[in-house]
Amino acid sequence: MSRIRSMHFAQAIAEKVSIDEKLKKAFEEVDREFFMPKGFSFYTHSLDALPIQAGQWISSPLTVAKMTKALEYNLSNDSVLEIGCGSGYQAAILSKLFRRVFTIERIETLFSEAKNRFKKLDLKNIHIRFGDGINGWKMYAPYDRILFSASCITPPLALLSQLKDGGILVAPIEKNKKQIITRYIKQGKRVISQEIEECFFVPIVEGVQKS
């Protein structure tokens, strides 16, 4: 994607979702074309979600903007864990805002492709793992932020133990046949939840799928 096209792309996102300069710059820097399914590069600048493979989707850049914003990241944040790597686009955006990104994917083919993309793009601060993200990734816990890129019925409270005190977990929660981006803030033994807005994600699935 040319520099000018990527600037227009980031601007188009900023016109729909109010984002800060840092996030806007991340959208300029990460070439979405790399994350598109083969034969779909024509749609690189579309603001819609698109089907990839294995019945999964690459999120709309507007959704990526909203989810990232909901994390309320700041300069003192060190690490973020994403559940549901898919194409890897969301993780690549996060890699521009956090020192370390950890991401988990349950479908082996998607995992391998995302891993190759991170390598090609030299995104060394992204650590990817093939597995069931429902259990999180204990080895590098606790995280400053946790992001679910697949929807859940109940808040993933088990993962709160892998969140730092004062940390934030964002997840699309299924409620009354809708999905709502929900933010959970861990404060000692208390968890405060805030509903942000409606969204659409594929549901979280237990276990792994080997190719």
Binding flag, residue 95, ligand SAH (CB under 6 A): no
Site for ligand SAH in 120-159 (CB under 6 A): 132-134, 149-150
Binding flag, residue 101, ligand SAH (CB under 6 A): no
CA distance 76 to 79: 10
Site for ligand SAH in 57-76 (CB under 6 A): 57-59
Active site residue 59: yes
Residue-wise over 78-103: b if at least 16 C-beta within 10 A, else e?
Answer: ebbbbbbbbbbbbbbbbbbbbebbbb
Binding window for ligand SAH (CB under 6 A); candidates: 8-16, 98-106, 160-168, 170-178: 98-106
Pick the binder of ligand SAH from 7, 47, 196, 202 (CB under 6 A). 202
Provide the CA 37 distance to its chain's centre, in angstroms. Answer: 17
Q: Are 44 and 79 in contact (CB under 8 A)?
A: no
Binding window for ligand SAH (CB under 6 A); candidates: 5-13, 68-76, 77-85, 169-177: 77-85
Q: In the chain, how long is the greatest CA-to-CA distance? A: 49
Say how many residues touch ligand SAH, by CB under 6 A.
Answer: 25
**Least distance between ligand SAH and beta carbon 188 (Å):** 28
Helix H, strand E, coil C: the string for 33-97 is HHHCCCCCHHHCCCCCCEECCCCCEECCHHHHHHHHHHCCCCCCCCEEEEECCCCCHHHHHHCCC
**Least distance between ligand SAH and beta carbon 187 (Å):** 27
Q: What residues act catalytically?
A: 59
**Binding stretches for ligand SAH (CB under 6 A):** 56-59, 83-87, 89-90, 104-107, 110, 132-134, 149-150, 202, 204-206
